[in-house]
Amino acid sequence: MAHQLQLEKEKYRQWVKAGLGLGYLKDGLVPFCNDIADQQHKDILQNIRSTKSLPSTVTCGSCQVETLKPDHKPVPGNAGKKVCRFGQAKCSCCCKGKIACPNNICGAIYDFIVQHHSSSPPAPNWKNTDAQQWSTDPWSICKCFINAPGYEQKQSASETDCTGLLHLMINNQYFHSHIGCDVTKANNFFLKVRQYRNNIFHSSNMELEESEANSHIDDMIAVLQDGKELLQQPNAQIAVKKLQDLKNKDFIITTESFEEILREIKKEMAKVLKSTESAATKEEYDDLKKKLIDLEAKMSDEKEGKLEIEKELKGLKKTMKELEFQMSRETLEKAELKKKLGVLETLVSEQKEEMAKIKTETSFSQSQADNEQTKLEWQKEMIASYCKNLLKVPAMPFTTTRSEMINFQ
């Protein structure tokens, strides 16, 4: 039983890991999608202004999709009915009472969107967009290629989830020229990953086998390593590294990561719940509601675990501050001691110099004293010799006879 519980816990961890991978995939795709969206918008406007000889500054903010008259004309169809030349069902070109763009620009943008939608027949999602922004906002055009509801308020790629970005890249033919993979073929990486997102977020038991989670992550990596342009995108390759780390058995999924993916899944389930409330059977509705309740319980468990971790972290931070204070005080004491030691060394050095000076002066004085002593002793010897020999000679000269002189000689 314990083994089974551990196994289920690991499956849940793998499910969250795959969901976290979708977040990394989105981070890697956002800059690429923003760049291509900007290029597309620039090319559309330049082509329209050039073809229609419009001023380079012309824009429009007054047209509504519901009332806009496209530039293209319908063609005869079966039973004498007119149909859209591009094959769009219920196209505005076949409806009466539509209004042409007063600035001669929005009808042409409408045509571009229909012509570049890759589905057959083309099926732009007009509910996601606002035609008043087409001439000034690149993302308002991109949202027409997201064939799923709930994106009308999204203002950029960064506000759009992974599913929306993949819809855009798969459905917009302008993007195809910047992707090496043939996204029109069945079972390509882009289509597979888009389906993984639905499988993960709509999972009935919120569990995945490790091999399945790793397979999903490998396909996400393949999308980001598409050889045409994504492989050269720095953000895409940073996301690849994060995805590769997810497959590492030692990789730690933080509490914040758990909460992040659970919040996304909760929002997705709530959206599905709202959209199916009236259409689904009571049994389906109750089942989905139960999943949402279970998810909230898991989030609560994760939050409790996070609070315990935060408590431990708080204690560690307190200990660290105490250690930092102690280290700071010891550092000050060491600095003061070092200062005193420096003063002492200076004093010792000065003392040595003074001693050397005194020694030199003493040596010189001793030499002078020795000389004086020698002179004094020599004087004493001279006086003694004088007293011994010279004081015996009479001070007055004496008289000597000639005969005495002769005898003396």
pLDDT digits (tens, 9 = 90+) for 307-324: 665 665 566 567 666 666
Distance CA 347, CA 349 (A): 5
**What pLDDT does 228 receive?**
95
Strand ranges for 55-202 from DSSP E: 75-76, 82-83
Q: Quote the radius of gyration of the chain (alpha carbons, Å).
A: 50
Q: Kindly state whether residue 400 falls inside one of the protein's structural domains.
A: no
Pick from 76-80, 82-86, 140-144: least confident: 76-80
Nearest to 242 by CA among 24, 27, 28: 24
| Angle, helices 162-171/2-52, rounded to nearest 10 degrees | 40
**What pLDDT does 279 receive?**
45
Domain span including residue 175: 2-252
Q: Kindly state whether residue 17 falls inside one of the protein's structural domains.
A: yes
Nearest to 239 by CA among 162, 142, 175, 180: 162
**What pLDDT does 280 receive?**
47
Q: Which pLDDT band holds residue 406 (cuts at 50, 70, 90)?
A: very low
Number of domains in the chain: 1
Please report, for residues 22, 192, 224, 237, the alpha-carbon distance to residue 180 in angstroms, rounded to integers and kept in the order given: 21, 16, 11, 16
pLDDT digits (tens, 9 = 90+) for 18-68: 989 999 999 999 999 999 999 999 999 999 999 999 999 999 999 999 999
Distance CA 140, CA 41 (A): 10
**What pLDDT does 3 receive?**
42
Pick from 20-29, 81-90, 209-218, 386-395: least confident: 386-395
Q: Which pLDDT band holds residue 221 (cuts at 50, 70, 90)?
A: very high
Average the pLDDT over 355-366 and give the result: 64
Nearest to 179 by CA among 131, 120, 224, 122: 224
Structure tokens at 204: 């009935």
Average the pLDDT over 226-245 and give the result: 95
Please report, for residues 166, 347, 356, the alpha-carbon distance to residue 350 in angstroms, rounded to integers and kept in the order given: 82, 5, 10
Please report, for residues 311, 319, 327, 381, the alpha-carbon distance to residue 322 in angstroms, rounded to integers and kept in the order given: 17, 5, 8, 86
More confident: 314 or 166? 166
Q: Kindly state whether residue 171 falls inside one of the protein's structural domains.
A: yes
Element (H, E) at 342: helix 282-389
Pick from 17-26, 73-82, 270-279: least confident: 270-279
Percent of the chain beyond pLDDT 70?
Answer: 63
Amino acid residing at 297: A
- The structure's pTM equals 0.67
Mean pLDDT estimate for the chain: 80
Please report, for residues 97, 163, 190, 216, 221, the alpha-carbon distance to residue 194 in angstroms, rounded to integers and kept in the order given: 39, 6, 6, 10, 13
More confident: 380 or 48? 48
Q: Kindly state whether residue 369 falls inside one of the protein's structural domains.
A: no
**What pLDDT does 101 receive?**
97
Q: Kindly state whether residue 113 falls inside one of the protein's structural domains.
A: yes
Average the pLDDT over 264-284 and give the result: 58
**What pLDDT does 252 receive?**
74
- Residue 151 clears pLDDT 80, i.e. is over it: yes
Q: Kindly state whether residue 370 falls inside one of the protein's structural domains.
A: no
Q: Kindly state whether residue 120 falls inside one of the protein's structural domains.
A: yes
Centroid of chain to Cα 324: 28
**What pLDDT does 348 receive?**
60
Q: Kindly state whether residue 92 falls inside one of the protein's structural domains.
A: yes
pLDDT digits (tens, 9 = 90+) for 88-97: 988 999 999 9
More confident: 179 or 281? 179
**SS3 breakdown of the chain: % helix, strand, coil, rounded to 5?**
70, 0, 30
